[in-house]
Amino acid sequence: MNATALGDVLVLDFSRVLAGPLATMLLADYGATVVKVERPGCGDDTRAWGPPHDAAGTATYYLSVNRNKRSLALDLQDPADLATAQALAAKADVVVENFRPGVMTRLGLDHATLAAVNPALVYATISGFGSTGEGARMPGYDLLVQGLGGLMSVTGAAGGEPQKAGVALVDVIAGLFATTGILAALRHRSETGEGQRIEIDLLSSLLAALVNQASGYTAGGVVPQRMGNAHPSVAPYELFDAGDGTQLVLAVGNDRQFARLCELLGTPALASDPRFATNPARVTAREQLRDLLQQRLRTQPAATWAERLLAVGVPAGEVNDVARAFALAERLGLDPIAELTRLPGGEAAHVATSDPPPPTRVPRNPVRMSRTPPRHATAPPALGELSTEEASRLFGVG
């Protein structure tokens, strides 16, 4: 059996919805024991965020970020349940929370209180706009951050209305930043014995994730605008109409690839044309170039062009929906879907039957490791399947 990288790490997860649960799921994938603290009777908000649902009636949104965890139902307004949460947190290696600023302090579950009895604790707080000042009062919804943080201003057709990304991308990015911060803090703790507080906010995470668009502003003074599917610094690097109503993605990253594209399209002279011979020139003459390429690309379906272009080393492909994207990954041998076993007790729909609950199919962790690979052990837990007594034993409490 393969070892896990974080098999000795205990995580108490007070987070809900997406950014925090994504971070703790990744820690669980790498072997950490993650206990998800949820409100009795309703649990994480995403348990109710459907349709769609899986065959067992569980909201697929909840399933997306909660595998390999245990669920402990605690009412933090109840003194006995709160005392249990405080005792577990005092023994945890990692605490993750995304309550409104001030809530954890009021509950005696803030970093300062817990670090006083558990100085090795790694404590991660995720907020929308920071935990102090005006930002502490602002609600941290992904759509709001996409708008305020500039992502919508660079997404969508030129001259059209701002568009959000098709998923809660800011939450995903913040969750990934939170994971790397926690892992770095655990590394520091292994060397020094010292824990620390980590703070991640959605707005800063988005600004960092704007990468070249952000540095174009910070270092170059250029405020980026919406360009549809075009790229501000590379051409041709966008979507084209192909034959039979299909669409082709072209991602030409250098002059060699451009010359191969022109050769294949039967227009080799374009590669030496001063208007298009270099990438900066192509960016300047983007519209002229697009018109010339579009005339040729309409003559064959996207699948035909993609096959021929890839054969000569030009990055190209059809635009897939999600089902076809998973099918592509399967064909490439990437094994993109994991089937997870449900924890004992299962979902409510199966409690009164003798039928075994169906496995849960979720996207696989994309990281491949030769020594300590991510695990795909158990499906996201039913609400409260972990008893207080068992949780106490896990954390060595009592």
Catalytic sites, residue numbers: 171
385 touches 70 (CB < 8 A): yes
DSSP symbol at 299:
T
Cα(5)–Cα(42) distance, rounded to whole angstroms? 32
**CA 52 from centre of chain:** 19
SS (H, E, C) 60-84: HHHHCCCCCEEEEECCCCCHHHHHH
Q: Is the dihedral of CA 124, 130, 136, 140 positive or negative?
A: negative
Token pair, residue 94, equals: 């990692």
**CA 128 from centre of chain:** 16
Cα(310)–Cα(333) distance, rounded to whole angstroms? 18
Token pair, residue 324, equals: 């076809």
172 touches 19 (CB < 8 A): yes
**Strands of 33-38's sheet in order across:** 69-73, 33-38, 10-13, 94-97, 122-127, 196-201
Residue type, 379: A
Cα(302)–Cα(294) distance, rounded to whole angstroms? 12
98 touches 15 (CB < 8 A): yes
Cα(325)–Cα(104) distance, rounded to whole angstroms? 41
